[in-house]
Structure 1
Amino acid sequence: MMITDENHRSERDSNIEADLGSPENLDGASGREASPTEPEGARFECSAPMEANSCSSRSEDRGVSEGEKEVHPLAGKGCTSLSASELVALDTDNLWNLYLDARERQDEEGKTQVRNALMEKYLPLVRVIALKLLRTMPSSVELDDLVSSGVFGLMDAIGRFDPDRGVRFKSYCSTRIRGSILDQLRSEDWVPRQVRLQASKIDRALKDLGEEYGREPTEGELATRLDCDEAELRRRLARSAAARMVSLSGKWSGQDGSGEQMAHTLQNEKAIEPREVLNEADVLSFITRSLTERERFIILQYYKAGQTMREIGEILQLTESRVCQIHSNVMVRLRSIIDPEQVRILLSA
């Protein structure tokens, strides 16, 4: 039984309500900014630089008197001596102190470790923002895709945040998370609106002429219907081809219900083979100019940093299978200009 798009959206909205929780448990249900329980330390002020390999507990921020202060468990330890689980167990005040200390000392390894722990603390906020945006999106948009785009905004916010400005981190990062998600959506819908309108007019004219003549119309007939000459028609057809692009990882279904990936059904025997002249610069140029931020991150982390699909998925809050799918989509697009094995060699160099 097929589910209509409207039913799909209604069902999805119900699931969103369940994920967000009741209005009593969520700020923003009555018009305020939506947020989960704000992580402790979401607003703080930077203290004087700490000594290397130390961490201030900021007991005074939580109302603990001098006589009640305890020896901090990190005393004498540095960022890199702690495991990921030990870092995540810290409250956000201590994590921010460690992060700012590592940033000041230009300790890149320590800074990355603490940043990842901070990201885990604030991931609930990314999810809430993604859920709210999802309500306004078509049913084809997936929550996981929005969350992974928001992760880049969170990562950027942590790296750029300056506590000396007195701005709440939650407010600062919420803007960047939302902007990162919207930027990703805009980058994926890269076909100009005017081109889509032209493609729609051509499709409608083809359909009408086909019904009138009982056959495919000629270029001359189609040009006459669209009130242009044949040269202009060919230019419009070339431009509108972009609007008809489909996902090569998607499947088409035959009458028998069988499905096949689009990429597996395509063949172009006339395709030019430029592999002999392609070099590493060409591949890197393709990655820089043609891939979205998320696609670029996955490719570079997989081939350059040597991370597994699972590890990349944990960073982007995507399932391993979704990361594999995005990777496959990129490789299909590269396949027309270079052998996949050569891509691996060039990227791993």
Structure 2
Amino acid sequence: MSLAQRGRLSEEELQQLWQRYWKQRTDADRQRLILHYLWLVRYVLHSLQLPETTLVSEEDLEHTGILGLNEAIERFDPTRGTKFETYAVARIRGAILDELRKLDWLSRTARRKFHAYQKAADELSQETGAEASAEQIRKRLGVSPELYRSYLRAVEAAHAATTLSTPSLPVEEGEEDATDPLEEVPDPNAVEPLERLAREELLAHIMQYLEQLPERKRLVIVLYYYEGLTFREIGELLQLTESRVCQIHAQVLEELRRHLRAHDLT
């Protein structure tokens, strides 16, 4: 059973939790609400048309969506007559789109590889009068067979992106609509073709990196991204201060970025 499934509440439990949260505003109740509504974050991620950027760091985007969900819980006003789900989707969607604008460098890498591949293939075709072979293109690019596979994935992902058509979410804060976009929720376990094509190589490198981390660093990452614990909760488990956990987290991410850059994945 996933973390999100464990956090789902019955309708009666949910109403009681909301009432208690509105009165007391405790962190514990807010965390329970986040767990219950975590599926909204995955709904938004699967509903938005996300190009290469999402494939590089889906965990980062999910974390950004959780921050948007947290903000929605803190700011939600039930007296305005808007369903929480509708209000939260708008907040989560906005947070993710804002983050995508900041992380445009991720998509630039995939675009660079795609254009380099196309340029090499076109040049060889013009020079020889025939379609270039994979080995000819690889040599023209001047890359190793391992790195060449990342170029192929960029090409496949670009082609897949042109065939994917994902409906946007016509949800605005306070908007009343006769049709509820949440009535058709995609399977949270479904994997888009674009995601599947581009994630394989990246995940292999990330897993390789995580496996060689010292135990404490690895635990911080696993507990934060896979178990959904806060820095404070992780600190209590590992007997560290919250600031130290935050420092370890930032250090690991920076080391991971260097690792990925070394393999031309960023």
Tell me the TM-score normalized by structure 2. 0.41
Q: Of the two, which has the highest radius of gyration?
A: 1
Tell me the TM-score normalized by structure 1. 0.32
Q: Say which structure is richer in helix.
A: 2
Indicate the structure whose relative CO is greater, using CA pairs within 8 Å and at least 6 residues apart: 2
